[in-house]
Amino acid sequence: MLSKYQLGQLYAGLRRAVRSHRWPEASHLLAQALGMELPGQPTEAEIAAAAGGHLVRQLSYRGFKPAELTMVVADLKPVVKLEDIPIEQARRFAARTSAGRKVVIGEAYRKDYLLLRSDPCAPDDPDALVCVFVSAGDQAAELAKLENTAREDAQTAGRLLGFPKCCVDAFCADFERSRVDQDTINDDAMRRMLAEAAAPGSASWKMNPLADGELLGFFPCRTNCPEALLRADRVIAAMEGLRPDELERIHRRLTRPALFWRLPFFAVARGVWRGPVLYLRELRVNAFADREVRAAQALLAAHLTSWLQPGCGISVEDGQLVRWRGDRRDGRLAANPGSAPLLCDWRDD
């Protein structure tokens, strides 16, 4: 198990290793960060091949999300927070947003795309991102002020954003847990949710947070939360009228099974479930635009594709990733307790 705050040190070393193409060292650090054995040692050519054919942009943490833009247009929330927007895009959005809405652009920051933490930066920084707050009333200014003065007040932020209280309470518990373990808040909230989706057919695709097309803009307290499902249905109904083609693409992404370790390291699959085993047609690792993070994600993809070929099955048993050939177990990768991979399915309802 990682000790408290060790993850940041591991990721700093991982960045240096991939920058210098020291792939055995990078593999060792990646395995430590994931808390799991990685098979083989890919060559540089295999890593390059994985980067070219086994990555996919599924969740980027950068730019506008279709569902949240729909929330603005359809007035589905008292205030909509658009997060991780490049600053010039935010300014253009504010300039063209229709009269009758108030738009507030937050302070500039840079994002660490491994830890998914943010640090303030100058507005003219080439990597500057901002949050954009949109409301009909004064809620946008109120929320922007809260984020500048009391960023950790998740209860008040959740109330202003109109999130269900049960979901806000669950997120606050995630936040407190992240103070005492080595995970980020995103990891704790994501693993809590995805653990419910680890049984085939147990969770609705509408609750899937693993794509830019996610429908909620918050982590639900559980995957069958009635309030969260109602909000997702409202977004779907609005998108059917405003963005039907985009909704179809989002549906395809949100119904993909996923193999999740921690953000930003997860894969999405196409395949066939036979009980708890997913027989693969395709497995592709999520990719970020950040060059060094993308290289680390390509490294993970190269490790996985050397061990898992189309036609293989995968399952998670006793915290270990198990490979299947036909109806027999053919290999397994050990993982640390508490950080075992999660194999998630999404019910298409």
pLDDT in tens, 74-86: 999 999 999 999 9
Residues 18 and 85 in one domain: no
Res. 176 pLDDT band, cuts 50 70 90: confident
Choose the final residue of a domain: 129, 161, 193. 161
Whether residues 25 and 54 share a domain: the answer is yes
Report how far residue 262's alpha carbon sits from residue 191's, in angstroms, rounded to the nearest whole number. 8
Number of domains in the chain: 2
The pLDDT > 70 percentage for the chain reads: 97
Query: Looking at residue 98, what DSSP letter applies?
Result: P
The amino acid that residue 15 corresponds to is R
Check pLDDT > 80 for residue 151: no
Domain boundary among 161, 195, 230: 161
Ranking 111-115, 121-125, 184-188, 218-222 by mean pLDDT, the lowest is: 184-188
Q: Token pair for residue 81? A: 């927070």
Between residues 2 and 129, the one the model is more confident about: 129
Dihedral-angle region of residue 110 (phi above 0 means left; psi in -120 to 50 means alpha; beta otherwise): beta
Cβ atoms within 10 Å, residue 12? 14
Q: pTM of whole model > 0.85?
A: yes
**Looking at the predicted structure, is the pLDDT value of residue 206 above 70?**
yes
Kindly state whether residues 84 and 150 are assigned to the same domain: yes
51 in the same domain as 89: no
Please, what is the angle between helix 165-180 and helix 154-161, to 10°? 150
Q: Which domain covers residue 101, as residue numbers? A: 78-161
Is 266 found in the same domain as 330? Answer: yes
Strands (DSSP E) along 116-198, which ranges? Answer: 117-120, 129-135
pLDDT at 183: 65
End-to-end CA distance of the chain: 37
Could you tell me if residue 166 is inside a domain? no
**pLDDT over 60 (residue 230):** yes
Examine the fold and report which residue of 135, 161, 187 is the final residue of a domain before the chain moves on. 161
Q: Is residue 278 part of a domain?
A: yes
Q: Is the pLDDT of residue 98 over 80?
A: no
Question: Both 262 and 339 in a single domain?
Answer: yes
**Rounded Cα distance, 172 and 167, in Å:** 9
Same-domain check for residues 89 and 128: yes
| pLDDT, tens only, 269-286 | 999 999 999 999 999 999
- 52 and 120 fall within a common domain: no
Q: Tokens representing 101? A: 């809405």
pLDDT over 60 (residue 306): yes
Within this chain, do residues 111 and 43 fall inside the same structural domain, yes or no? Answer: no
Q: Please check whether residue 130 lies inside any domain of the structure.
A: yes
Q: Region 325-347: what's the mean pLDDT?
A: 93
Nearest CA among 254, 271, 261 for reference residue 314: 271
